[in-house]
Amino acid sequence: MNSPAIDARDAEMPRRALPVIDLGPYLRGDPGALEQLSAEWREVCEKLGFLCVINHGISDALIAEMEAATRAFHALDDEEKLKIKVTDHQRGYVPSRATILKHSSYETHTKLDSVECMVVATDYAEDHPEVLAGKQFYSRNRWPEKLPSFQTTVEKYMSTVQSLGLKLLPVWAKSLELPENFFLPYFEEPYSYFRIAKYPKTAFVEHQEFGLGAHADTGFMTFLPPALEQGLQVLDEHSQWFWPVVPEGAIIVNTGLFLSRWTNNRFRATPHRVLPPKNNDRYSFACFINTSLDAVASCLPTCQSTDNPPLYPEQSYWSYFQWYMKNTYTHYGSITAPEDEAAA
């Protein structure tokens, strides 16, 4: 006999405040602010690895404009969205039930994610050598014809978040006891990647069913204004999932796997996941600010010793990103979800 069905969202789960870091003094250029901020940053990144920032300089108006653009995009007909379906360059529209994290060590995933999203990334110049060569991930963005304002808002939002990310490079460097400008050469041509997502409302959620399954982000740093609908859960250092509580106006920041590997796991790439919403569709837009695609990370000098040798071989962001994408998105053809295919 089947046991009575329990909605996965009703499972007992603590709510916990994320660490809040004030960027105001540093962004204003106050004396001593970089040192103070870097110490706080290190403390969080070595433990939970998930935080939120206040006084970040990204206006409420811009976030509201991006929220409206996200909703307008997802309100387009499927036919319009499918005209710009994602390609092997990892840009374009990804329909619902097209991702599953096969490389996750946090949880076994058997079902495809219900999230659908539009993916946009740094648009390199048409005459960029890698664009001309047709190298994977360098193609131009795809935009919906019927929503011209979408491109304008997305580009404005991405460039604002990218500027904030680049301003924080000295903080990342100092928090790892590196010279202030250490990361600059790796970010000569930052590869910023933007997921503009809709999580469709779902009446009943089974155990192991997700809007987006447990994962750590791919790259260096992620910026995520909290969604208006609940859904995000975070795994702490003691393997306890919790609902993060974020103050009004704060933006979530977390570390990606590429940085975590670069730091020999000193900084944690925190697993998180999204449960589907119950009553209203949920919209979110996570912006990932990464090194140049051709940047090569080899274990940072301050993150290794004879007792703590490098755990990972040196690797370019391009090759790490390619590995991650192939093991997450079904359109690359290398992964499938057997149980789900029958139901789809």
Ligand X SMILES: O=C(O)CCC(=O)C(=O)O
Look at residues 94, 99, 98 and name the one whose alpha carbon lies nearest to residue 82. Answer: 94
Question: Binding of Fe ion at residue 217 (CB under 5 A)?
Answer: yes
Which residues pair with residue 137 across a beta bridge?
A: none
Tokens of 127: 């005459």
Between CA 258 and CA 189 the distance in angstroms is: 16
CB of 324 to Fe ion, least distance (A): 12
- Select 160 or 284, whichever has its Cβ closest to ligand X: 284
Measured CA to CA, the distance from residue 155 to residue 161 in angstroms comes to: 10
Q: Which is nearer to Fe ion, 217 or 229 (CB)?
A: 217
**Of 47-106, which residues contact Fe ion (CB under 5 A)?**
none
250 binds ligand X per the rule CB under 6 A: no
Residue 307 neighbours by CB distance under 10 Å? 5
Pattern 251-290, binding to ligand X, x per CB under 6 A? ---------------------x-x---------x-x----
**From ligand X, Fe ion, none, interface partner of 274 (C-beta below 5 to 8 A by class):** ligand X
Work out how close the CB of 102 gets to Fe ion at its nearest, in angstroms, rounded to a whole number: 16
From the list 53, 205, 232, 259, which residue makes contact with ligand X (rule: CB under 6 A)? 232
Task: Kindly state the number of chain residues that form the binding site for Fe ion, as judged by CB under 5 A.
Answer: 1
Count of residues interacting with ligand X (CB under 6 A): 11
**CA–CA distance, 96 with 257 (Å, rounded to integer):** 24
Pair of tokens at residue 296: 């090569």
> Which is closer to ligand X, CB of 34 or CB of 227?
227
Contact between 229 and Fe ion per CB under 5 A: no
**Site residues for ligand X, window 88-127 (CB under 6 A)?**
none
Nearer of residues 26 and 324 to Fe ion, judged by Cβ: 324
Which residue, 116 or 217, is less far from ligand X as judged by CB?
Answer: 217
CA nearest neighbour of 223 among 290, 154, 159, 287: 287
**Residue with smallest beta-carbon separation from Fe ion:** 217
Which positions touch ligand X (CB under 6 A)?
195, 197, 212, 217, 224, 227, 232, 272, 274, 284, 286
Which positions touch Fe ion (CB under 5 A)?
217
